[in-house]
Structure 1
């Protein structure tokens, strides 16, 4: 009986305990359902939230296993929309609330936030919250993690952020927070992660009390407008693993106290204004794996202690460091990346470099290094990039380099290397850029060069290479540049070289080549220089059909026959046929005063116009009869009326010119051989010829007497054009020194005090904006042409960023500045905002005027006013999105305050780590492209993937334009995951 009573009592007791848990679950469910009604759930992710089931079984909800009460709501990546669902915080047992990567927006009122005082974790990252940061009224004693990054919060950080006694992670990066970084944040002594990077703070110092955060493990303040010196208290952060204060304005010396960071694994100090020597105390950091202090003003030597650490990556490039590279660096078994370029290092490279580590990236270019290249750089079979140009390196190229099958990028030009290049080195399977010019290398090109299938650039000019150029070079179908001038090559040039359809530059000047000049269908060839050889035979007429050829130099050969009149069809900015044995009549297009130097040294040429110093061509029988008839008529004419008419014409022209240009003194500059002058141009700047008008001036289409058509840009002057002089200089300085098939060609410019004019080649199909978005064409651009335009524009920008010295940043990449010729080849134009990126700019330019156009400006520019080449990459990514979707950057169909980048990202939700497949995103494709083939669709998806990579919110994640060219030109499927 007693046993029965005991069991009965225990059952009642357990039932008593279960009642509040059941009641609590029902109450929690009611709160969750009420709050859910305020959210938009287009993907239906919360469809299982029903009153008939326990909330512990609902998607995104987790309960305490002991009490059964709701403890966590995690709705990350659910594509939810609406305001902040503060109702969730009414659940008294809720400890974890994560709503990251959604479309939630609006402000965060303090009254609503007060409900959340019991939370331990609050994660609202990557939404669209705006306004000031929330004011945390009252106590939040349990809050351990606060992540509000990736939103649009603005204003200053409220003082309440300094009153979280248990906070371990504070992340506010990627917002629009202004003000200075407040000192009260140093009160958060429990912090282990502190991330405020990518915010437009007012320039200010790193809080001097930062050393109070002794438990800190991650300090990330990149691109936060830090100024002043790094405080000595930084050395108190003994638990710090990551220190990133890169991309700021920090100055002064690196404090010696940094050597007390005994746990640090990664130090990022790049792109600041730090000066002085690297402290010897860095050698104490035995846990350090990555050290990057590049792009500063550092001097002195590389400390032995730092060089002796087991670093995986050491980057000190773009400083003023000197002395020898310590030999102990080569003993490091962990070294993967070594970047010491653009310094003043001297002496020899440690010979054991690469012997003990998996070295992948090696760049010591732009120093004063001498001696031999280390033979073991690729002994572990991992080396990918070998860059050592601009030194005084000597000796032979090590034989072991021929076994480096991972090598894909080599630049060792402008040294004193000699001897024979190993045969296997020419056949490396992954190499795509090979630059050996300006050395004393010798030997011949072996036949196994055909194995280098990925080779796009072979630049070996200025050496002592000899022998024949082998037929096997024709197997390299990816070749874009062959530059082998100033060598001793001999024999015939393989005719099959004309089959290299992607070739853009063929430069074989100053060799001993003979035979005939190949003729073929080079659709991409822009530059031919075969001068100072022994070529014979006639000039191929097919050269006149090359669509993008702008540079032709065949001087100093043994060419014979007539000059093909087809050459006059080319839009050349350089022509030289001098020093040959050409004969016959000079074609009419070249029979002008601009071309005698280009045709000199051909004594058998004659001119129909009497061009000096050439002899006059004998007239044909028909011309002789016409001349006789004219002579009779002139003899019979009355002299005085003719004289009167002539005088009247001269007076009229004088009066007309005097009215239009009274006393004008012109400064004239020609960048190509042109058959016109400024007077002919100005006569045509009429309303009838006007084809465009914009913020910088007017553009006219001018048909010249020679039959040539040009585009004339007349810049605004006076009060309407305050920046016209700056824009004029920018365009002239940029376009006057660049030459590329995908950069618009500046032919001529003239300026006076009140007028500035630029004359360009005329583009028959206008600009991409008109063609893609306007009503200019009856038929929309098909995908083949869009892909061609994308690749052409990318090549033009890549040339500006990587091949110009100094590099050029366009700063206004958009469809209206991408011009299209008759074949829809893209030409980047309008360089009024362009800037050269020299070393004096420390890797970026700070601009006082707005750089770019709305919808195309990179997000970081809004709060830093700093630009670099990644700003152009972002703008180009927007252009790619327009090509794929057919939408404008700021399309009327978008919601307010949304651009094409955000529209695409939203459309591709809920996955923010996107794996683009072959069937998911047809709705993003421009409907005017339908119907399209499956192969075209794969191409569109690939370009979409590239565009998303280019428009990454973080510049460091964007590819270079050189890489963009590779991605757009790669026909393989691209299913990589792109972080947006």
Structure 2
């Protein structure tokens, strides 16, 4: 009875619900749904209110909310959503929505919440969004929007939240948003705006609670008017180029919880009045040029984090800071602060991190740093702390990084400090610490780096050191260690550096060191080690630094050392004898073998033709002379050694500082971590432009690094590169400029680039399965190598073709201006761990203007033999049709598993061979073209794809379809409307399609 009454009161209810469901079905059909998010969107269900992501109004039953967040759906923006007349909430957060936003979205009249963040949207922001009268929340972060923020964005009527973070907006800074008096959140961070000043009119946004403008290319001073934003809780102006002092008006932001001003060029002293900010929890003004002292009134605040590092602050740390009950993070490194740290620091504060490195602090370390039992990082390097390490730290089991190097600490290290279970880095180098390494170090199960050089440690290195299976570096040089190396040390399978030079070690190097597969540095110089040099050292393929000088090693030099790729070799001042291995019979190795009287061979200055007895008498005579001037010589050598080490240290610092990092995404690594991986063992590819390395980062992830060296402007590159040096150097700018603006699932992602005067690095995502060319044909060059193409079944090959087509379609149709790749080939299509394809190598890519012409003239042919379109070779005119031809060759490779140029084709090439085979054989020739390793059950589908490939390689550019059409044809191959090959005379005819241009016959 109740249902009948509702039907009579609302006769249009069923029609309304059905209409909403129909519009949602249209949305579903327009989107790619690989994860089956729409599985319960049943077109036979009249009520869509129970569908995934759909909510309805309780009274009317009309759809008022659609939430497709994190659904992994893709395709253009579904405009049918705006036909839901009661829709107030719409979220497509974190999907693959591409193309551009519709120019007119006025149909979404009731929309209040619109979230399109983390998608692939491009083009300019549509100004018509301001026509939505009810819109309160707008989030377009993490897309590829470019150009200016529309002037109409200053006309929103009810907008409270706007977020445009992490786009490519490169116009003027949108000061017009200061007209929106209703705004509560304004977030424009990480956009490459033109250099702009902060508008004083921002002070008009009196309702503003959050202001995020980090990384917006802001210049000039911070306006005083920001002090009028009394409701502000979060102010972020970091990562800009702001100058001048911090305005005192900011101390009037009585509601503010965090202020972030780091990485600017702010000067002057910290203003007075911080005690007004009773809610302040975070103050980060690091990496500026601030001077003066730290105000004492900062210690009156309930600060949780105080970051003032990398400034020019002086004076002592306020003593009352130790009384702060909330302080968990204190970063003051790289200043000029002095005095003693408060003795009770950490007693009242739940400290998690303290970093006061690179200052002038002195006195003893506070014993209460870990009183709350939460301290994880203790960083105090390069100060003048003295006395003993507090015994209380040995009970601080929460510690994971301890850096106390380059101070004046003395006494024994507390036994418990060696045994802390979570510490990964223990740095005590450059002090006057004594005693030995405790056997309790066996409990330090997470220890990765042990840095204890330049102390007074003594005794034997304990066997327990071999229990540290995560140890990567053990640097203990310039101490007083004695006894032999523990046999257990060979169990350290991850060891990369072992430096124990200048100690009193004796005995032989333990057997079994072949387990050190990752060792790259071995320095045992200036000890008393004896016996023969183990031949096992020759099996350490990663080793590039070997110094065993100043010991008592005897016997012959193992010939196995010749297999090492060493940048440093020193076996001087031992008791070696016999002849040098053949590889070392070069003058450059002379200084590597000096001081071995019984080691003789024909290297000038190493030895001569006299007998060994006469050599010994001669050496005795020389030693007598040296003894007379020994004191002067020792003093001179020590002075020279000290100057040399300072010079090398300064040179390394300069070399590292020469690198400039340009990032295109938020990074979890630095340029130094990349540079440390550039050795020959990590090379995964070599081409005309340079080498490609695989770099495994400390977090376990891998990236690919392409190293491009500069060529002189008129020098011709190696390996057949016909371009001049100037053009070769431009490839770096071209690839960075192109990939830096592109974000697409089928385009290889560019993380960052590093630049110096002589070398350039491009860091992009690592593709575990290499290139399609290597998989299909092997890496052995033309006609060589073993192909793994037979391992790719047809569904995988088809998916690769579709992925690559979608990537090229994005370049041709969705980029503004369009981009022509100019070097499409199977070696430039990379495959991830799931054999999904990405288009790569944009070194010769060009932008195309509205008339379809390249923005720069083409003076040379770019591309690879077998892939170059016929018209390109004689006209040097480039457009998207050239890429389509090259992609057609790739399709033929996938179908035939043959190279574009192969001796079996003679002078024809793959395209002509396929066409001739299909045209001349009475049976159509298909079976003679298709890879025999493909399953015959897919023959019909393979033929359709073969047709597409031949259409793309039509000799006349006008006959080639667009890449957008190629994508659609590939999608139709396995869909409901397959492409049917046509014929005139019953034979297989590759150039005829239902949708092909009418050219009157085969081109």
User: Which band: TM-score by shorter chain?
Assistant: 0.5 to 0.7
What is the DSSP-based 3-state SS (H/G/I as helix, E as strand, rest coil) of the residue aligned with 2:457?
A: strand
Cross-structure match for 2:276: 284
SS of the counterpart of 1:224? coil
**Aligned mates of 1:865, 1:504 — CA distance in 2:** 27
C-alpha distance in structure 2 between counterparts of 1:45 and 1:896, whole Å = 25
SS in 2 for 1:243: strand
Whole-Å separation in 2 of the counterparts to 1:299 and 1:130: 44
CA distance in 2, matches of 1:213, 1:51: 50
Are 1:433 and 2:425 counterparts? yes
Paired residue for 1:53? Answer: 46
Q: Is the contact made by 1:49 and 1:59 (CA closer than 8 Å) also made in structure 2?
A: no
Match of 2:540 in 1: 546
2:257 aligned with 1:265: yes
The CA deviation at 1:855 is: 4.9
User: Equivalent residues in 2 for 1:193-232 (5 A)?
Assistant: 193-232=185-224
What corresponds to 2:684 in structure 1?
A: 768
The 1-side partners of 2:87 and 2:174 are apart by 30
1:322 corresponds in structure 2 to 314
- Partners of 1:364 and 1:388 within 8 A in 2: yes
Cα distance between partner residues in 2 of 1:384 and 1:238 = 36
Given the alignment, which residue of 243, 248, 265 partners 1:256? 248
1:814 aligns with 2:700: no
SS in 2 for 1:305: helix
Q: Name the structure 2 match of 1:372.
A: 364
1:134 aligns with 2:126: yes
* Residue in structure 2 matched with residue 525 of structure 1 by the alignment: 519
CA distance in 1, matches of 2:130, 2:763: 48
Aligned to 1:579: 573
* Alpha-carbon shift at residue 204 of structure 1 (Å): 0.5
TM-score normalised by structure 1 residue count: 0.65
Does the alignment pair 1:894 with 2:814? no
The equivalent residue for 1:177 is 169
Shift of 1:744: 5.4
> Is there any run of 5+ residues in structure 1 with no aligned partner, and where?
1-7, 620-670, 672-725, 732-736, 746-762, 777-785, 800-809, 818-832, 834-846, 903-919, 929-980
Cα distance, 1:388–1:896 mapped onto 2, change above 3 Å: farther
CA shift, 1:27, in A, is 4.7
In 1, distance between residues paired with 2:323 and 2:455?
34
Of 87, 94, 114, the match for 1:94:
87
2:70 is aligned, of 60, 74, 77, to 77
SS at match of 1:240: coil
For residue 330 of structure 1, report the CA deviation from its aligned partner. 1.2
Aligned residue in 2 for 1:838: none
Q: Aligned with 1:324: secondary structure?
A: coil
Q: Could you tell me the TM-score, scaled by structure 2's length?
A: 0.64
Aligned-pair distance for 1:606?
A: 2.8
CA distance in 1, matches of 2:348, 2:494: 40
Tell me how far apart the structure 1 counterparts of residues 441 and 420 of structure 2 sit (CA, whole Å).
8
* Residue matched to 1:614: 607
Name which of structure 1's ranges 212-221 and 58-67 shifts more when overlaid on structure 2.
58-67
User: Is 2:623 aligned against 1:603?
Assistant: no
C-alpha contact 2:659 2:754 (8 A) present in aligned 1: no
Post-superposition CA distance 1:57-83 (Å, at most 9, x none): 443332222343332233333344443
Deviation at 1:154, TM superposition (A): 1.7
Aligned residue in 2 for 1:448: 440
Offset at residue 341 of structure 1 (A)? 1.1
* Partners of 1:795 and 1:32 in 2: CA distance: 46
CA distances 1:560-593 after superposition (whole Å, capped 9, x unpaired): 3333344344333223333333344444444543
In structure 1, distance between residues paired with 2:5 and 2:501: 100
Equivalence for 2:861: none
**Number of corresponding residues:** 714
Pairing 1:27-66 to 2, within 5 Å after superposition: 27-33=19-25, 37-41=29-33, 43=36, 45=38, 47-50=40-43, 52-66=45-59
Counterparts in 2 of 1:892 and 1:272: CA distance versus 1, 3 Å? farther
- Inter-partner Cα distance in structure 2 for 1:433 and 1:473: 15
Q: C-alpha displacement at 1:51, in angstroms?
A: 5.7
Residue among 477, 480, 495 paired with 1:488: 480
How do 1:848-927 residues align onto structure 2 when only pairs under 5 Å count?
852=736, 855=739, 878-879=765-766, 894-895=803-804, 898=807
- Residue 519 of structure 2 aligns to a residue whose secondary structure is coil
Tell me how far 1:743 sits from its aligned partner.
5.1
Residue of structure 2 equivalent to 1:641:
none
Is the contact between residue 769 and residue 835 of structure 2 (CA under 8 Å) also seen in structure 1? Answer: no
For residues 815 and 470 of structure 1, what CA distance do their matches in structure 2 show? 43
| Aligned residue number for residue 181 of structure 2 | 189
Query: C-alpha deviations, 1:882-927, integer Å up to 9, x for none?
Result: 5699999x9865356749999xxxxxxxxxxxxxxxxx99676999
Inter-partner Cα distance in structure 2 for 1:149 and 1:887: 38
Using the TM superposition, give the Cα deviation of residue 216 of structure 1 relative to its aligned residue in structure 2, in angstroms: 1.1
What SS does the aligned partner of 1:394 have? strand
SS in 2 for 1:393: strand
2: CA distance, partners of 1:12 / 1:854: 63
Contact residue 800 and residue 837 of structure 2 kept, 8 A: no
Do the aligned residues in 2 keep the contact of 1:592 with 1:611 (CA within 8 Å)? no
Residues of 2 paired with 1:190 and 1:70: CA distance? 28
Question: Residue 255 of structure 2: SS of its match in structure 1?
Answer: coil
Q: Deviations over 1:733-787 (max 9, x none)?
A: xxxx999996557xxxxxxxxxxxxxxxxx6x9941369xx9x9xxxxxxxxx9x
Distance 2:753 2:375 in 1: 32
**1:34–1:413 Cα change, 3 Å:** closer
| Structure 1 residues 884 and 314, CA gap change in structure 2 (3 angstroms) | farther
Q: Does structure 2 conserve the Cα–Cα contact (< 8 Å) formed by 1:891 and 1:899?
A: no
- Over residues 214-263 of structure 1, what are the superposed CA-to-partner deviations in whole Å (9 max), with x where a residue is unaligned? 11111112211111111111111111121112111222111111111111
When residues 875 and 46 of structure 1 are mapped into structure 2, their CA distance, relative to the original with a 3 A threshold, is farther
Could you tell me which of 375, 378, 383 is aligned with 1:383?
Answer: 375
Superposed CA deviations along residues 79-105 of structure 1, whole A, max 9, x for unmatched, are: 444433333333443322223333333
C-alpha deviations, 1:773-802, integer Å up to 9, x for none? x9x9xxxxxxxxx9xx85x65479999xxx
Provide the C-alpha distance between the structure 2 equivalents of 1:415 and 1:283, rounded to a whole number of angstroms: 35
Distance 2:605 2:5 in 1: 119
Q: What secondary structure sits across from 1:814 in the alignment? A: strand
Contact 1:86–1:115 (CA under 8 A) maintained in structure 2: no
Tell me how far apart the structure 2 counterparts of residues 37 and 249 of structure 1 sit (CA, whole Å): 48
| 2:753/2:761 contact within 8 Å kept | no
**Could you tell me which residue of structure 2 aligns to residue 508 of structure 1?**
500
Name the structure 2 match of 1:781. none
Say if 1:137 and 1:528 are closer, same or farther in 2 by CA, change over 3 A: closer
2:388 maps to 1:472: no
Aligned-residue offset at 1:175 = 1.8
Distance across 1 between alignment mates of 2:488 and 2:132: 76
Q: Determine if contact 1:143/1:166 at 8 Å carries over to the other structure.
A: yes
Asked whether the equivalents of residues 467 and 491 of structure 2 are also in contact (C-alpha less than 8 Å), the reply is no
User: Is the deviation greater in 560-569 or in 151-160?
Assistant: 560-569
**Structure 1 pair 477/44, CA: closer, same or farther in 2 (3 Å)?**
closer
Tell me, what secondary structure is at the counterpart of 1:401? helix
Paired residue secondary structure (1:184): helix
- Counterpart-to-counterpart distance in 2, 1:743 and 1:543: 21
Alpha-carbon separation, structure 2, partners of 1:472 and 1:617: 50
Decide whether the 8 Å contact of 1:814 with 1:879 is kept in 2: no
- SS of the aligned residue for 2:145 comes to strand
Q: Which residue in the other structure is 2:345 paired with?
A: 353
Residues 164 and 188, structure 1, Cα contact 8 Å, conserved in 2? yes
Moved more, 127-136 or 285-294: 127-136
